[in-house]
Amino acid sequence: MPEREVTEYLCVRINGEAVAVPTDKVQEVYETSLYTPLPGGPACILGLINVRGNILPVLDLWEIAEKEPGRLTVVILNTQEGMVGLLISALIDLHTFELCAKNEHPSPSFGTWASFFPTRTETDEAYQIMDVEKLIEATLPQQIRQVDL
């Protein structure tokens, strides 16, 4: 009998949807109400935040800041492109999942970003598993990646 892969995930909500982010990509969760907007910058970038001396872009791919103004919850992701903040609606908890299935019907609320959720859990609440590297590679504009902040 083949051994099942067990992976730990940071589970969050994005506009009501349950999402699982692999913990090996999560640096920390950061709450703030302070960020610096980028005038004329891409719509997917909310702005920049300073996390212990590191200036990071914060992605708001699902317009959470507009829908839920006030204190922002940002998952700091450690990716091949460097550290990047991703705005979420709420933090749920850490979970370990054994079974994952192909996500044939990602939530329509993810819009054009739905393809970055290729798998889902087979648990009571189906968490859509985020492919962090592909999401960041596709959304973080080349000019932002090359800026030496």
- In tens, the pLDDT along 68-93 reads 778 899 999 999 888 999 999 999 99
Cα→Cα distances 124→23, 26, 97, 99, 121, Å = 21, 24, 11, 12, 9
When pLDDT is averaged across residues 96-100 and rounded to a whole number, the result is 77
What band does 4 get if pLDDT is binned at 50, 70 and 90?
low
Q: For residues 81 and 56, what is the distance between their CA atoms, to the nearest angstrom?
A: 11
Which pLDDT belongs to residue 109? 79
Asked if CATH classification 2.40.50.180 holds for the domain at 7-13+27-145, the reply, yes or no, is: yes
Which pLDDT belongs to residue 2? 45
| Nearest residue to 73 via CA among 44, 101, 35 | 35
When pLDDT is averaged across residues 28-42 and rounded to a whole number, the result is 90
Q: Angle at the Cα of 23 (from 32 to 86), degrees rounded to 5?
A: 35
Which pLDDT belongs to residue 147? 46
Which pLDDT belongs to residue 6? 60
Residue with tokens 């995930």: 9
